[in-house]
Amino acid sequence: MVLKIRWKTVSLLLLLMSLQSHLLAKNISADINVGDADRVLRSGKIITLDNQSTEHQALAVRDGKILLTGTDEEVNKLIGPETQVIELDGRTVIPGLIDGHIHGIRAGLTFNDEVGWYDITSIEEGLEKLREKARNTAPGEWIIVAGGWVKEQVAEGRAPTLAELDEISSQHPIYIQHLYDLVVLNSAGLQAFGINDQTANPAMGKYHRDSENKLTGRITGSLPFIFSTYRKLPRLSFDQQVEGTKAFGVELSRLGLTGFIDAGGGGLFPQSFHPLYKLWRDGQLKQRIRFFVSPQRPGKELEDIMQWADFQAMGHGDDMLRFSGFGEIVVWGMHDGADIGVHFGPSEKAKNDLLAVAKYLAERQYSMQIHAHHDHSASQILDIIEQVHLDSPITDLRWSICHGEDFTEKTLLRMKALNMAWGVQNRLYFMGDDYLAIMGKKIARSAPPLNTGLKNGLVIAAGTDAHRVSPYNPFVSLEWLVNGKSLSGTVIRGVKESVSREQALRMYTQGSAWLTFEENKLGSLEIGKFADLVVLSDDYMTVDEDNISEIVSLMTMVNGEVVYAAAPFGL
C-alpha cells in the first residue's frame, strides 16, 4: 500500500513536471498548476493568428488572458472543479475582430431611436420598416434613417420620394439620410425644419424643387451642411443615449467585434462622450474602445485641438476605453470628402493650417489619422507631413491615412518611410459599380491596392467606416477584402490586389491593434494576450468566399468573459 501511494505521488509529480515543461516551452510561468483555468474551450478549431499561423483544438483562459493553446489533452490538464468547460463541437474560433475605422460612438447615441436600412433590398422594404416604426411611435415624434444604406443596395437604385414618405405618415416628421450627399424629408419634416416653397437655398446646400417650384423634399449639399442639417433633429435624453450605446455594443458583439477604433469625425462634441463614459464607469462596455477626436469648428481646428490636449493626455484611459489621438478630420479644408473622382484642390490656408496642426501634434507625441480617399489628396497631405517630420520625427507615433482607394505604390512607399499605417474600409463593396464607371477598369481593378501595400510592409487596418456611410458588419468587409466584389456581384478589384482570408483577418485584428500600440496585447490568440475571441457560426477559412458575409458570432468573449452568446451557447 505504501509503495502504491508513493507510485501515485511520483506519477502526479511527473505529470506536473511534464505540464510545467510544456508551459515553459510556451513562455508561461511554471507556477501554473492543474486546475488553474477559469475557462476552457475545447474540441474546436482555434485560429491563433500567431507568426506560424498555428491552429489548435483548444485553449484555456485565466484572469482574462490566454493561459494555454494546444490539444484537448494538453488543455484538459488545466481543468479543475471551478473551471467552466465550453464544448466547441468542431466550431471555429478566431481572435476578436477590431474595426479599425468606425464612427461607433456617434452611432450608439441614436441607435435605439433610428430605423436601420442596412439590410433592405428595395425601397418598399425600407418603407415597410418606416410604417412599423410609425405604428409604434407617438404622433409628432421623428422617424429617422440616419444613413448606413446606399442606393446601390435597393432594386430601385434611388432614394424614397416625398410622396412615398407622406404616405407613411402625416403625423410624424420623417428624415432619411443617404451617405453625406442627400437628405429626404416628408411634408411634416419640411414643416418641422421651417422649410417652405419660399425658403431660399442655404449656403453650401440646396432645397430641390420641381418644375412648378414646389419642394420635392430632397436636400443636398456639402458634408458640413449635411452635418448641420442632421443636427437640427431633436436630441435624445441622456438616458436614451446610454441605452442606445449599450444596445449598439450588444449588436457589435453579435457580429464578433470585441473592439473598435472610433474615427472621430463631424458631429462628435465633448458632451457626446458622456453616455459612453457612464457605461465605462459602470463596467458595462462590450468592446474595447479606442477613440480619436476631430475638431468641430472649421477654421479653428488648432484652437480646438489645443483645448482638448490640455486635459486629454495621449493614451489616457484603461484597457476598455482609451484616448488614442486626433483625426480623422484635423483640418476641414484638407478633407477631400466622399465623392468619387473629384479633384482635390485645397487652399494655401488649409495647407498651412494642416502644417500647424501636424507640427503641434508631432511635437507633443500625439497619434493622428487623416482622411484621404484619393491618391492626389494623400500626396498633398504627405507633402506637409514629410515637412513636419524633418524637425519632429513621426516614425514612432503611428500616424495613419484612412480610405485611399486609388493609392499608387509611390504613395504607399512614402507612407511606409514614415512608418504610417493605412486604414482601409469597404465602401467600394457598396459603391464599386459607380467607382468602376467613373474611375475606369484599370484603376478599379487595383482599388484598393492591398497586396501592393502588404508587399511593401505597410500595416493595414481594416474597418467599415460605419454607420452613416455603410453598415457595420465586419464580415461584409472581410468578404470584400477577399473577393473584391461589389454588392451587385461585379468583380471590381482583381485577384492581383485581393488578399487571402488569413491576410484579411490579420488586417481586422492585428492591423487595428497596431494602430493603438497594442499588438502585444490584442489581435491573436497567443499565451499572455487578452482572451478576446469569437466562436463562429461557420468556418471562416473554408466557407464559400461569397458567403463570408453571412457569418455571425455564436459566442463573443472579451477579457475572458462572455459578452454575447447565441444557441447553442446561450440565447
Helix%, strand%, coil% for the chain, nearest 5 = 40, 20, 40
Give the C-alpha separation, 458 to 401, whole Å.
11
Q: What does the block give as the cell for 229? A: 442639417
* Neighbour-count burial for 225-236, b at 16+ CB within 10 Å, e otherwise: bbbbbbeebeeb
Q: What is the pLDDT of residue 469?
A: 81
* Cis upstream peptide for 251 (omega within 30°): no
Please say whether the beta carbons of 432 and 492 come within 8 A.
Answer: yes
**Whole-number pLDDT of residue 152:** 85
Residue 26, pLDDT > 70, answer no
Query: With pLDDT > 90 as the criterion, what percentage of the chain qualifies?
Result: 84
- Asked if 326 and 292 touch (Cβ cutoff 8 Å), the reply is yes
* Mean per-residue pLDDT, 414-431: 95
- In tens, the pLDDT along 329-369 reads 999 999 998 888 888 999 999 999 999 999 999 999 999 99
Q: What is the mean pLDDT of residues 240-252?
A: 97
Q: Give the CA radius of gyration of the chain.
A: 25
**Average pLDDT of the segment spanning 424-433:** 92
Q: What is the pLDDT of residues 471-483, one digit of tens each?
A: 899 999 999 999 9
Q: What is the mean pLDDT of the chain?
A: 92
Residue 21 has pLDDT above 90, yes or no: no
Which residue reads 484538459 in cell numbers?
76
What's the length of the chain? 571
**SS3 label, residue 25:** helix
pLDDT at 341: 85
- Least confident among 202-206, 223-227, 461-465, 528-532: 223-227
- List CB contacts of 173: < 8 A, sequence separation 6 or more: 140, 142, 143, 185, 186, 188, 189, 191, 192
Report helix angle 375-391 to 348-363, nearest 10.
50
Report the percent of the chain where pLDDT is more than 70. 94
What pLDDT does 471 receive? Answer: 87
Instruction: Provide the CA 17 distance to its chain's centre, in angstroms.
Output: 44
Q: How far apart are CA 405 and CA 393, in angstroms?
A: 27
Predicted confidence band at 32 (pLDDT cuts at 50, 70, 90)?
A: low
For 383, residues 6+ apart whose C-beta sits below 8 A from its C-beta are none
* Residue 468: per-residue pLDDT: 83
CA distance 41 to 88: 6
Q: How far is CA 484 from CA 406, 478, 496, 504, 549, in A?
A: 14, 10, 10, 12, 13
CATH code for the domain defined by 114-230: 3.10.310.70
What is the structure's pLDDT at 17? Answer: 41
Q: What angle do CA 452, 96, 71 make, to 5 degrees?
A: 105
Q: How far apart are CA 137 and CA 188, in angstroms?
A: 15
C-alpha cell at 146: 440616419
Position 36 scores a pLDDT of: 87
- Prior bond of 374 cis (ω within 30°): no
pTM above 0.85, yes or no: yes
Which pLDDT tens digit goes with each residue over 486-537? 988 999 999 999 999 999 999 999 999 999 999 999 999 999 999 999 999 9
Quick check: 63 and 523 in contact, CB under 8 A? Answer: no
pLDDT tens-digit readout, 132-187:
999 999 999 999 999 888 888 899 999 999 999 999 999 999 999 998 889 999 99
Distance from C-alpha of 526 to C-alpha of 51, rounded to nearest angstrom: 10
List the beta strands (DSSP E) in 296-365.
321-326
CATH number of 238-558: 3.20.20.140
Predicted local distance difference test score (pLDDT) of residue 13: 39
Cβ–Cβ under 8 Å, residues 552 and 90? no
pLDDT band, residue 401 (cuts 50/70/90): very high
Residue 308 pLDDT more than 70? yes
CATH for 2-90? 2.30.40.10
Q: Which pLDDT score, from 0 to 100, does residue 118 have?
A: 87
Q: What is the pLDDT of residue 34?
A: 61
What is the residue extent of each domain of the chain?
A: 2-90, 114-230, 238-558
- Residue in 27, 445, 104, 495 with CA at minimum distance from that of residue 263: 104
Quick check: 15 pLDDT over 60?
no
Domains 2-90 and 114-230 agree in fold: no
Q: Cα–Cα distance between 451 and 5 in angstroms, integer?
A: 62
Report, as an integer, the average pLDDT of 262-266: 92
Residue 6 predicted with pLDDT over 70: no
Q: Residue 175: CA atoms inside 13 Å, Cβ hemisphere, count?
A: 22
Residue with cell 507633402: 383
Over residues 365-392, the mean pLDDT reads 97
For residue 184, list its beta bridge partners: 176, 218
